[in-house]
């Protein structure tokens, strides 16, 4: 025993692995996920030099209008929020590594005096003990630890996915809000021009105060809409800045493209996005892992519920004048009061619960994918409808109104009202495109296993109808 004990301790250390190795492995897994599934790269900034380099790279990216993929890169490689997520994952990973280690051996030392007729007696007892349980179940514990590492990796991937989705949506929101604000400005200009014309017409007696007031009221409402739109644009921009984790000076430098990307020629079809990918969903994989672990631990509990206090120690007693005593000491709690049945029942219930949770999750996941696809598809159809039908029709109405105006069949106020409606339809088209890109991000996230609140299409209020000033 003297020789074999340190050997098993050594073996345990090797088997449970070095904590930093596990952390690196987990990060590599997240990196792979980011590359393969999110099409971006992750940087984990662990030194000032790395941070400086990345900061310079971000500055370089910010020199031109920020594309959506660059926004994702900044978020994954630079934003303190995501860096903090990475670090937290490392903490969890380190804990998992630690959890697989055997409890440290216990060394006990007894030194006893006895003064009697025969003189003083010294009794020295030494024992080096280790939890036999720890040792016996080391393979099982290693397995448990590996489960935890795996969970950590999956959780990190989910966090990454969630970051990517949020950044994409924030970028879409920011670009769209800015675009909307610009068109709202056009609408407000049209209304403002009409109001100014009405003011001059009242001044020369061509309009009554009532007619003038109607045009001015319209302009005033459009100004209110413009203020709202500008506020939305600012808020959406700041939301993106927060997700990217930009410094104040970087925030100032941030420029956005003038418009959202063009709609794809055809939408993704349902078959390729459907059930085939369900197996890959991260949440399903987490639930599976969890179920496996529960199952394993159920088996384990059946044994350990009785033997959980088993403790073994090597003993060496030296007593004055006596030859040294050597031997083992085993401690075993008697199952007199706790027969372990409560622990076993609890474990079984946990397994059942995990089992049903997994079932539920799989069903829900499939439903979520369908909802996400429906949302995506409707958003695509709607955006196309606005682009191909509504906006061209409004444009056509303006063009025909010009012809009518040329023939003095309508007045300039009706012409301006048509222009206003046209711009308002463009606003709706932008909002529909924004919804589409949001839905696209949500669908992608949903396919990979991040439940996203399903898309609700906006109830596009029809643009102000040609009111005219008569």
Print burial letters for 287-319: b (CB count within 10 Å at least 16), e (below 16): bbbbbebbeebbebbeebbbebebbbbbbebbe
Q: Which of 63, 262, 407, 459 binds other proteins (CB under 8 A)?
A: 407
- CA 141 → CA 15, 17, 93, 432, distances in Å? 10, 12, 15, 53
Region near other proteins per CB under 8 A, out of 9-17, 124-132, 411-419, 443-451: 411-419
CB distance 329 to 313 below 8 Å: yes
Q: List binders of other proteins among 79-138 (CB under 8 A).
A: none
Nearer to other proteins, 114 or 200 (CB): 200
Binding residue for other proteins, selected from 10, 56, 393, 409, defined by CB under 8 A: 409
Q: Is residue 108 within 8 Å of residue 125, measured between CB atoms?
A: yes
Of 90, 286, 419, 448, which lies in the binding site for other proteins, with binding defined by CB under 8 A?
A: 419
By CB under 8 A, residue 408 contacts other proteins: yes
Considering only 4, 47, 115, 204, the residue that binds other proteins (CB under 8 A) is 204
CB of 431 to other proteins, least distance (A): 20
Alpha carbon distance 124, 107 (integer Å): 13
Per-residue mark of binding to other proteins, 371-400 (x: CB under 8 A): ---------------------------xxx
Kindly indicate which of the ranges 97-105, 197-205, 266-274, 298-306 contains the residues binding other proteins, using the contact rule CB under 8 A: 197-205
Note whether 470 binds other proteins by CB under 8 A. Answer: yes
Residue 143: CB atoms within 10 Å: 17
Strand arrangement of the beta sheet that strand 106-116 belongs to: 106-116, 119-130, 311-319, 325-331
Indicate the residue among 61 and 417 with the shorter CB distance to other proteins.
417
Q: Based on CB atoms, which residue is closest to other proteins, 136 or 402? A: 402
- Map tokens 């009518």 to a residue: 404
Pick one of 162, 189, 364, 366: the residue that binds other proteins (CB under 8 A): 189
**Which pair of structure tokens corresponds to residue 31?**
């990196």
Q: Among 46, 60, 111, 200, which residue interacts with other proteins (rule: CB under 8 A)?
A: 200
Query: Minimum distance from CB of 246 to other proteins (Å)?
Result: 34
Stretch binding other proteins (CB under 8 A), from 173-181, 194-202, 288-296, 430-438: 194-202
Region binding other proteins by CB under 8 A among candidate stretches 112-120, 134-142, 205-213, 248-256: 205-213
Q: Is residue 37 involved in binding other proteins (CB under 8 A)?
A: no
CA-angle at 295, arms to 293 and 301, nearest 5° = 100
Among 116, 119, 205, 248, the residue binding other proteins under the rule CB under 8 A is: 205
Task: State the minimum distance, in angstroms, from the CB of residue 469 to other proteins.
Answer: 6
Strands (E) across 5-130 are located at 106-116, 119-130
Half-sphere exposure for 364 (CA within 13 Å, toward CB): 15
* Residue from the set 86, 201, 365, 439 that interacts with other proteins by CB under 8 A: 201
Nearer to other proteins, 192 or 245 (CB): 192
320 near other proteins, rule: CB under 8 A: no
Counting contacts by CB under 8 A, is residue 404 touching other proteins?
yes
Alpha carbon distance 359, 353 (integer Å)? 10
Query: How far is 10 from 4, CA to CA, in rounded Å?
Result: 10
Query: What kind and span of H or E run contains 448?
Result: helix 412-448
Residue 454 φ then ψ, to 5°: -60, 155
The single residue among 1, 11, 91, 203 that binds other proteins, judged by CB under 8 A, is: 203
# binding residues, other proteins (CB under 8 A): 38
| Listed ranges 95-103, 106-114, 160-168, 191-199: which one lies at the site for other proteins (CB under 8 A) | 191-199
Binding of other proteins at residue 405 (CB under 8 A)? yes
The half-sphere exposure of 459 on its side-chain side, counting CA atoms within 13 A, is 0
Residue 217 CB, nearest approach to other proteins (Å): 17
By beta-carbon proximity to other proteins, the closer residue of 191 and 441 is: 191
Cβ proximity of 27 and 90 under 8 Å: yes
Smaller CB separation from other proteins, 371 or 415? 415
**Minimum CB–partner distance for residue 409 and other proteins (Å):** 4
Residue 102 CA neighbour count, 13 Å, CB half: 25
Helical axes 138-203 vs 209-244, angle rounded to 10°: 160
Angle at 469 between CA 466 and CA 470, to 5 degrees: 110
H or E stretch covering 175: helix 138-203
User: What residues are paired with 325 via a beta bridge?
Assistant: 317
Rg of the chain taking only CA atoms, in angstroms: 35
Binder of other proteins out of 410, 426, 445, 448 (CB under 8 A)? 410
Interacting residue ranges for other proteins, rule: CB under 8 A: 186, 189-190, 192-193, 196-197, 200-201, 203-207, 211, 398-400, 402-413, 415-416, 418-419, 423, 468-470
């Amino acid at each position: 025993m003297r020789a074999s004990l340190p050997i098993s301790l050594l073996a345990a250390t090797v088997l449970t692995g070095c904590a930093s190795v596990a952390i690196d492995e987990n990060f590599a897994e997240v990196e792979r996920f980011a590359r393969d599934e999110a099409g971006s790269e992750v940087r984990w900034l662990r030194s000032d030099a790395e941070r400086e380099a990345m900061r310079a790279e971000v500055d370089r990216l910010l020199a031109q209008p920020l594309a959506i993929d660059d926004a994702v890169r900044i978020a994954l490689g630079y934003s303190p929020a995501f860096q903090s997520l990475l670090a937290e994952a490392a903490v969890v990973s380190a804990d998992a590594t630690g959890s697989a280690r055997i409890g440290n051996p216990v060394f006990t030392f007894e030194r006893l005096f006895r003064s009697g007729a025969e003189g003083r007696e010294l009794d020295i007892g030494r024992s080096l003990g280790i939890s036999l349980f720890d040792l016996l179940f080391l393979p099982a514990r290693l397995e448990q630890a590996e489960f935890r590492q795996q969970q950590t990796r999956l959780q990190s991937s989910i966090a990454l996915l969630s970051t990517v989705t949020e950044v994409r949506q924030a970028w879409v929101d920011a670009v769209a809000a800015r675009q909307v604000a610009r068109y709202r400005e056009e609408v407000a200009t049209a209304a403002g021009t009409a109001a100014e014309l009405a003011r001059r017409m009242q001044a020369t007696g061509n309009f009554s105060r009532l007619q003038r007031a109607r045009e001015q009221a319209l302009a005033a409402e459009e100004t209110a809409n413009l203020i709202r739109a500008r506020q939305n644009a600012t808020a959406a921009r700041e939301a993106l800045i927060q997700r990217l984790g930009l410094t104040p000076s970087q925030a100032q430098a941030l420029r956005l493209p003038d418009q959202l990307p063009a709609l794809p020629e055809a939408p993704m079809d349902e078959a390729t996005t459907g059930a085939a990918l369900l197996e890959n969903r991260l949440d399903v994989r987490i639930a599976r892992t969890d179920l496996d672990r529960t199952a394993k631990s159920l088996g384990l509990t059946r044994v350990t519920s009785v033997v959980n206090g088993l403790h073994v120690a090597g003993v060496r007693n030296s007593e004055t004048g006596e030859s040294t005593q050597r031997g083992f000491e085993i401690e075993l709690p008697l199952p007199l009061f706790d027969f372990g049945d409560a622990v076993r029942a609890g474990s079984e219930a946990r397994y059942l619960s995990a089992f049903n949770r997994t079932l539920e999750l799989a069903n829900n996941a499939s439903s979520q994918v369908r909802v996400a696809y429906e949302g995506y598809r409707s958003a695509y159809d709607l955006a196309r409808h606005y682009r191909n039908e509504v906006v061209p029709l409004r444009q056509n109405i303006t063009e025909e109104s010009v012809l009518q105006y040329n023939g003095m069949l309508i007045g300039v106020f009706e012409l301006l009202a048509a222009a206003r409606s046209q711009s308002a339809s463009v606003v709706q088209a932008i909002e529909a495109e924004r919804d589409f890109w949001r839905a696209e991000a949500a669908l992608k996230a949903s396919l990979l296993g991040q439940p996203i609140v399903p898309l609700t299409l906006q109830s596009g209020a029809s643009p102000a109808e040609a009111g005219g000033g008569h």
